[in-house]
Chain A
Amino acid sequence: MSPVNRREAEVRRLLEEPQPPVPPDLYAEAVRRGGRMLRRRRAARRLMWFLVVAALVAFAVWASVAQPWVEPPSETTPPLTGW
């Protein structure tokens, strides 16, 4: 065994030694917090979709009322009257 490998094996042995116990409520706590994160994300996504739909509806209503594609009546030339 080369010295480098021996050193690595020694370090690995040092790292393996103390095994901490797993807290019993770890799973429940992780699920609680993770579930809260999921619900928040879902609510944020719903809010975003709602805003997008509201913006589209507002644009459609404005466009149908203002009709910006219709050429506005000319205002620079005076109307031709009396000849």
Chain B
Amino acid sequence: MRERQASRNARRAREFEAFVAGAAGRLMHAATLLTAELPDDNPRARRLLTAALAHTYAVWDGLRGEDPYDRTRQYLAVAFARGAWHQYGGLGLAHPWSRPKPGGTLSCLSPHERLILVLRMYEGVAEEQAAAMLALPAERVRAVCARAMATLLHPPREAPAVIAEVAPS
């Protein structure tokens, strides 16, 4: 019994190490895109990815042929969505003052837009699959993705503090 346990532990550690060696770079990049942090200063992305990988390690013996990369990515996405919910008070409602200031590529997008854009465009997850993962209708995923792409390609200029002077009559 004890020997079987030890051999199973050793096998899990070996397989998991190979998985991390192969997938960590891409997952780290995805996590950093999600949190919109700078590539060399990404504590939040590291925390997210460490938690996701720890979870994958814990369920490793029960994967039964399921792709561990898919599993980790799903955990990452859901944990990020939940974190964004707590941090920003609802998906899609990003307060401009609570956004990380020294941002990465996607810092002009809201957390919700980043999540859907990264899943669809960087990870290449199908629309229906992303919708199921986030419990959203597929049309909504398509709309948010299109909006995020438009914002990313044509970033809005800094909004002026005063919208418009009303001309005195």
Contacts and interface: CB of A to CB of B under 8 A. Distances in A.
Interface string B121-157: 1100000000000000000000000000100110000
Interface of A is mostly: helix
B42 interface: yes
A10 B153 CA distance: 8
Interface of B is mostly: helix
A70 interface: no
Interface residues of A, number: 27
Interface stretch (A27-35, A50-58, A59-67, A72-80): A27-35
A35 B58 CA distance: 6
Contacts of B46: 23, 26
A15 B20 contact: no
A14 B117 CA distance: 12
A22 B28 contact: yes
A11 B149 contact: yes
Interface of A: 7-8, 10-12, 14-23, 26-27, 29-35, 37-38, 41
6 contacts: A8-B121, A18-B29, A20-B42, A22-B28, A27-B24, A34-B57
Interface of B: 13, 16-17, 20-21, 24-25, 28-29, 32-33, 38-40, 42, 45-46, 49-51, 53-58, 60, 104-106, 117-118, 121-122, 149, 152-153
Q: 8 closest A-B pairs (Cβ-Cβ)?
A: A34-B57, A30-B53, A33-B54, A20-B39, A37-B58, A34-B54, A18-B39, A34-B58
